[in-house]
């Protein structure tokens, strides 16, 4: 399973990637902002996208809207991992096309549950 | 004005500062436990400056119905332990991420306090983290602000959270 991790903080990307590796997900691709992520997506569709909210150039909801505007990415699961925890923020993210939401701080178990839930075959 | 009256004004904490300190303590305990698997023990806060001295100071600002900032103040040894625990990596890899790890911790702490304040009806935005690293420096808030120094321990390390609030009592 391939996971695209999008966050402008290289440290937060490392935290998420290291956690994913411990959970058995070795195949990860990293991007530092939404535009870089869209370039990565043009090269191949991952099984799940994990994205931050607060990023330069293109924030998380804008990035997800761009993802959803592409037919081949319309059903790719997107998990937003962020400190933006207000109800209004969650609504904005869901309206943009996010499938699920994980608020920092998060445990490895919480990340595992969200990833498994998003990638579970019906 | 008597000196006793002056002293009383100096040590009486404005309610909003007390509310934010309570939130700060709760979220810091949770974040250190969840993200670092570390238990922290808090001491009594003091509602006066100066900001504690430290090797690594990670600050996140607030703007909106409340204005101010929160700083996480730690030694370089504590900062390295935080980075190593946060990344789940070797000391060598963690060393490269000491600044950003402190910034991420401050970001999560300030973001979680923001969420608590939003639940109380405040409208707040937060800044990106600013991290200062050095061995011989001090920082200070402006004179006419409410402030709180909140000490806590992580194992052998003495850490501080520092809260500054401007314009609201």
Smallest CA–CA distance from B118 into chain A, residue: A86
Task: Judge whether residue A38 has pLDDT over 90.
Answer: yes
Across the interface, whether the CB atoms of A9 and B87 are under 8 A apart is answered no
Which pair of tokens denotes residue B36?
């670092």
Q: What pTM was computed for the model?
A: 0.81
Contact A86 B115 (CB under 8 A): yes
CA B9 to chain A, closest CA, distance in angstroms equals: 35
CB-CB under 8 Å, A19 with B88: yes
Mean of pLDDT values over B69-88: 94
CB–CB of A40/A4 below 8 Å?
yes
- Between A and B, how many residue pairs show a Cβ–Cβ distance under 8 A? 56
Taking all residues of chain B, what is their mean pLDDT, rounded to a whole number? 87
Q: Which residues, listed in sequence order, are joined to residue B72 by a DSSP beta bridge?
A: B58, B161
Q: Would you call A90 exposed, middle or buried from its count of C-beta atoms within 10 A (0-12, 13-18, 19+)?
A: middle
Position B14 pLDDT exceeds 60: no
At residue B56, φ and ψ (nearest 5 deg) are: -130, 120
Interface confidence, given as ipTM, is: 0.70
Confidence check: pLDDT of B8 > 70: no
- Residue matched to tokens 């956690």: A19
- What CATH number is given to the structural domain containing A85? 3.40.50.2300
The larger pLDDT score, comparing residue B96 to residue B62, is at B62
Range of the domain at A61: 2-119
- Cα radius of gyration (chain A): 13
Which residues on A lie below 8 Å from B108 (Cβ)?
A: 83, 104-105
| Among A9, A22, A106, beta carbon nearest to B100 | A9
The total number of structural domains that make up chain A? 1
pLDDT digits (tens, 9 = 90+) for B28-41: 999 999 889 899 99
The more confidently predicted of residues A57 and A47 is A47
- Sorted by where each starts, the structural domains of chain B and their CATH numbers stand as 3-166 (3.40.1550.10)
């Amino acid at each position: 399973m391939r996971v695209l991790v999008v966050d402008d903080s290289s440290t937060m990307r490392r935290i998420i990637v290291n956690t994913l590796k411990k959970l058995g997900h070795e195949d990860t691709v990293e991007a530092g902002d939404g535009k870089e992520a869209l370039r990565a997506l043009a090269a191949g569709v991952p099984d799940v996208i994990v994205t931050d909210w607060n990023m330069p150039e293109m924030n998380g909801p804008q990035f997800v809207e761009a993802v959803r505007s592409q037919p081949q990415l319309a059903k790719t699961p997107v998990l937003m991992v962020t400190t933006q925890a207000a109800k209004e923020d969650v609504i904005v993210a869901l309206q943009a096309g996010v499938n699920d939401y994980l608020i920092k701080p998060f445990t490895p178990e919480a990340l595992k549950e969200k990833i498994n839930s998003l990638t579970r075959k019906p | 004005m008597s000196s006793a009256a002056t002293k009383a004004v100096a040590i009486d904490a404005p309610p909003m500062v007390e509310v934010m300190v309570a939130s700060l303590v709760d979220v810091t305990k949770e974040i250190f436990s969840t993200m670092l698997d570390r238990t922290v023990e808090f001491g009594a806060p003091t509602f006066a400056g100066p900001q504690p001295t430290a090797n690594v100071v990670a600050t996140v600002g607030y703007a909106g119905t409340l204005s101010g900032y929160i700083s996480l103040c730690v030694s370089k040894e504590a900062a390295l332990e935080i980075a190593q625990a946060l990344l789940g990596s070797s000391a060598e890899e963690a060393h490269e991420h000491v600044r950003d790890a402190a910034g991420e911790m401050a970001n999560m702490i300030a973001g979680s306090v923001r969420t608590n304040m939003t639940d109380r009806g405040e409208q707040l935005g937060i800044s990106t983290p600013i991290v200062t690293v050095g061995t011989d420096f001090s920082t200070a808030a402006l004179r006419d602000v409410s402030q709180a120094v909140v000490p806590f321990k992580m194992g052998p390390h003495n850490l501080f959270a520092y809260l500054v609030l401007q314009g609201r009592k």
